[in-house]
């Protein structure tokens, strides 16, 4: 077992659902009276290390900290940092975390935030690790549901688009399946389907889900439709991306088949999957959702900095020094010094960084 000395947010499921709800309720309070919180992080420094492009996540974290009275350091282009000289993830994150009180990190490899947390000197927040997870987007989505639907229970939620590579939908399924009466409808092509490990988590929690390749057929039953972008950067070739990129497009005509109180979310950026004639529909919530992201990150930063030293388990399984993770994009392949940890699952081993499964040996 390897523990961290800090209150990290790597995966929402490392925390309790009460903890998430406290963050969401606090964020809702901030929405109503942001001025009350203007000084709560006075003198604190947040580092944002973005190894991958971002607009909303990065800027909403930065403005969140500035609105709380704190300050920010960081990079949004590793090419202008020592990463370009070949510095490894451990050294960069170890040093930056010794300068800051809290560190937010986005990285193209699955498991990178957990890898950084093994040696960091302050709490780490995962702002997206490859195709794996995006816990702060899920907190944003929960706040949107809480404010716009008034509940996080008894909802039929359609997830549409690239469910294979989209980290936002993976985090959402893992978290929302903890609430009563949540039903998911996975709307995707076979190639872009939800990974089996997420479906297994839902089954273990008795959370209902169904699959429907047709957005038009599914839309009428939904309380919330979550559209996602086909994740171009995760495809092996341009041809494969082009063949799938326009598989699902929400336009006004399709939206007319939805319930009058079905809200439409999208983590953004959108490419072509929602036409602009949808933007002015009162059910289109994606711009509001992006603003909620700032408030939820204010609540999250405050919550972690109030209690930054809650020790948490990071690696709970066993080391298998000679076993390689089957996912070529797992951080353990890029950063060879990382201890290889797997959880045993019958005759399978599950990588503790990226959750990829392989046959044990
Ligand atoms: C998402 C992401 O980075 O995973 N964007 C975001 O954080 N708002 C979704 C995406 O890039 O498609």
pTM above 0.85, yes or no: yes
Q: What is the pLDDT along the chain (361 residues), one digit of tens a residue?
A: 899 999 999 999 999 999 999 999 999 999 999 999 999 999 999 999 999 999 999 999 999 999 999 999 999 999 988 888 999 999 999 999 999 999 999 999 999 999 999 999 999 999 999 999 999 999 999 999 999 999 999 999 999 999 999 999 999 999 999 999 999 999 999 999 999 999 999 999 999 999 999 999 999 999 999 999 999 999 999 999 999 999 999 999 999 999 999 999 999 999 999 999 999 999 999 999 999 999 999 999 999 999 999 998 999 999 999 999 999 999 999 999 999 999 998 899 999 999 999 998 6
> What pLDDT, on the 0 to 100 scale, is given for residue 312?
87
Report H helices in the chain. 17-32, 56-67, 89-99, 112-117, 135-148, 167-176, 196-204, 215-218, 238-244, 252-255, 286-306, 331-334
The Å distance, Cα 194 to ligand 1 centre, comes to 17
Is residue 74 lining ligand 1, measured as CB closer than 6 Å? Answer: no
Is residue 268 lining ligand 1, measured as CB closer than 6 Å? Answer: yes
Q: Which residues pair with 185 in a beta bridge?
A: 158, 210
Nearest CA to ligand 1 atom 8: 267
Is residue 128 lining ligand 1, measured as CB closer than 6 Å? Answer: yes
Nearest CA to ligand 1 atom 1: 267
Is residue 137 lining ligand 1, measured as CB closer than 6 Å? Answer: yes
Q: Which two tokens stand for residue 225?
A: 């439709």
Q: Which residues pair with 318 in a beta bridge?
A: 342
Is residue 229 lining ligand 1, measured as CB closer than 6 Å? Answer: yes
Cβ atoms of residues 49 and 106 within 8 Å = yes
Is residue 111 lining ligand 1, measured as CB closer than 6 Å? Answer: no
CA–CA separation, 8 and 10 (whole Å): 6
The pLDDT tens digits of the residues spanning 177-187 come to 999 999 999 99
> What pLDDT, on the 0 to 100 scale, is given for residue 81?
86
User: Between the CA of residue 289 and those of 110, 197, 286, 306, 314, what are the distances in Å?
Assistant: 25, 28, 5, 26, 30
- Please choose from 109, 128, 131, 162 the residue to mutate so as to test ligand 1's pocket, defined by most ligand atoms within 8 A of CB: 128
Work out which ligand 1 atom sits closest to the CA atom of 106: 3
Nearest CA to ligand 1 atom 7: 57
- Please choose from 269, 290, 291 the residue to mutate so as to test ligand 1's pocket, defined by most ligand atoms within 8 A of CB: 269
Work out which ligand 1 atom sits closest to the CA atom of 134: 4
Is residue 357 lining ligand 1, measured as CB closer than 6 Å? Answer: no
> What pLDDT, on the 0 to 100 scale, is given for residue 361?
67
Q: Which two tokens stand for residue 131?
A: 């195709």
The Å distance, Cα 56 to ligand 1 centre, comes to 8
- Please choose from 57, 159, 162, 233 the residue to mutate so as to test ligand 1's pocket, defined by most ligand atoms within 8 A of CB: 57
CA–CA separation, 268 and 193 (whole Å): 20
> What pLDDT, on the 0 to 100 scale, is given for residue 360?
84
The Å distance, Cα 352 to ligand 1 centre, comes to 23
Cβ atoms of residues 60 and 297 within 8 Å = yes
CA–CA separation, 47 and 215 (whole Å): 40
Cβ atoms of residues 139 and 32 within 8 Å = no
> What pLDDT, on the 0 to 100 scale, is given for residue 46?
98
Is residue 234 lining ligand 1, measured as CB closer than 6 Å? Answer: no
CA–CA separation, 318 and 326 (whole Å): 17
Q: Which two tokens stand for residue 228?
A: 């996602």
Q: Which residues pair with 187 in a beta bridge?
A: 160
The pLDDT tens digits of the residues spanning 234-271 come to 999 999 999 999 999 999 999 999 999 999 999 999 99
Name the average pLDDT for the chain: 97
What b-and-e string marks burial along 63-81, b requiring 16 or more CB atoms within 10 Å of the CB?
A: ebbebbebebebbbebeeb
Residue by residue, DSSP assigns 303-326 as HHHHSTT--EEEE-SEE-TTPPPS
């Amino acid at each position: 077992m390897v523990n961290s000395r800090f209150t990290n947010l790597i995966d929402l499921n490392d925390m309790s659902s009460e903890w998430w709800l406290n963050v969401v309720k606090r964020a809702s309070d901030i929405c109503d009276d942001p001025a009350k919180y203007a000084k709560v992080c006075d003198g604190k420094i947040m580092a944002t290390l973005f190894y991958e492009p971002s607009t909303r996540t990065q800027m909403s974290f930065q403005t969140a900290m500035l609105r709380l009275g704190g300050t920010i350091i960081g990079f949004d282009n590793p090419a202008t940092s020592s990463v370009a000289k070949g510095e490894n993830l451990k050294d960069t994150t170890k040093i930056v975390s010794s300068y800051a009180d809290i560190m937010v990190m986005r990285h193209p490899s699955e498991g990178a935030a957990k890898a950084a947390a093994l040696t960091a000197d302050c709490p780490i927040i995962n702002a997206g690790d490859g195709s794996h997870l995006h816990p702060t987007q899920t907190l944003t989505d929960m706040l949107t549901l809480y404010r716009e639907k008034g509940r996080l229970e008894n909802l039929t939620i359609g997830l549409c688009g690239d469910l294979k590579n989209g980290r936002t939908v993976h985090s959402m399924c893992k978290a929302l399946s903890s609430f009563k009466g949540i039903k998911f409808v996975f709307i995707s092509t076979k190639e872009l389907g939800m990974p089996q490990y997420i479906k297994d988590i839902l089954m273990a929690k008795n959370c209902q889900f169904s699959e429907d390749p047709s957005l038009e057929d599914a839309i009428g039953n939904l309380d919330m439709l979550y559209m996602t972008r086909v994740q171009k950067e995760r495809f092996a070739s341009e041809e494969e991306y082009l063949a799938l990129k326009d598989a699902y497009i929400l336009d006004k005509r399709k939206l007319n088949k939805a319930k009058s109180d079905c809200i439409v979310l999208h983590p953004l950026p959108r490419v072509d999957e929602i036409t602009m004639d949808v933007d002015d529909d009162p059910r289109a919530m994606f711009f509001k959702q992006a603003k909620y992201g700032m408030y939820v990150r204010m609540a999250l930063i405050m919550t972690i900095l109030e209690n930054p030293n809650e020790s948490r388990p990071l690696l709970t399984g066993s080391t298998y020094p000679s076993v390689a993770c089957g996912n070529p994009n797992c951080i353990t392949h890029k950063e060879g010094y990382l201890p290889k940890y797997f959880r045993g699952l019958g005759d399978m081993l599950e990588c503790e960084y990226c959750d990829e499964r392989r046959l044990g040996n």
